[in-house]
Amino acid sequence: MSETRTGGRIVRAMEAIGAGSLMVLMVTVFIDVVGRNLLNTPLPWGTELLEIVLALMIFAIYPLLALSFGHITVDLIQVRPRLRMVQRVLSGAIGATVFALIAWCMGRQALRSASYGEATPLLNVPLSWVLGGIAALAAISALAFLKATVRSIHHPGAPDAPHATEVN
């Protein structure tokens, strides 16, 4: 199987996870609001579920943004194309470092929480699963930043993102 085909499947899977998470968020909030306002009985575990699903959505989508330099950027001053490549490499390196640090910290917390047997109060979801998932997705984000950085070095004229909008 080629790398492009595998990469495409991984990207589609991450997009599907993000879209599914958003759908779960919307349905849960809708049910909670209707229950709270019409029936005076909110979902008792709604907040816990929303916290977990929101973390999943954020950390599942961020690698896709990192790969395409699709995150929000603001250019306050115009620079030459060569300096723009330096900016992209520097931002990619900083992004990779930050997400590697997040992955390391979350991994440590996951191990600590597993040793204590911590779980969420109402749903009883082991916190080590949640923190471990965040650690893994943050590590994937760090790798995505590194890949985007290497790509910007080898192809300095490539657009930031296929869907980028430039405002002058």
Is the sign of the CA dihedral 124, 129, 135, 137 positive or negative? negative
Taking 60 as the threshold, does the pLDDT of residue 5 lie above it?
yes
pTM of the model as a whole: 0.83
Residue 96 to residue 20: CA distance in whole angstroms: 26
pLDDT band at residue 69 using 50, 70 and 90 as cut-offs = confident
Residues 6+ apart with CB under 8 A from 127: 110, 113, 118, 119, 120
Taking 80 as the threshold, does the pLDDT of residue 83 lie above it?
yes
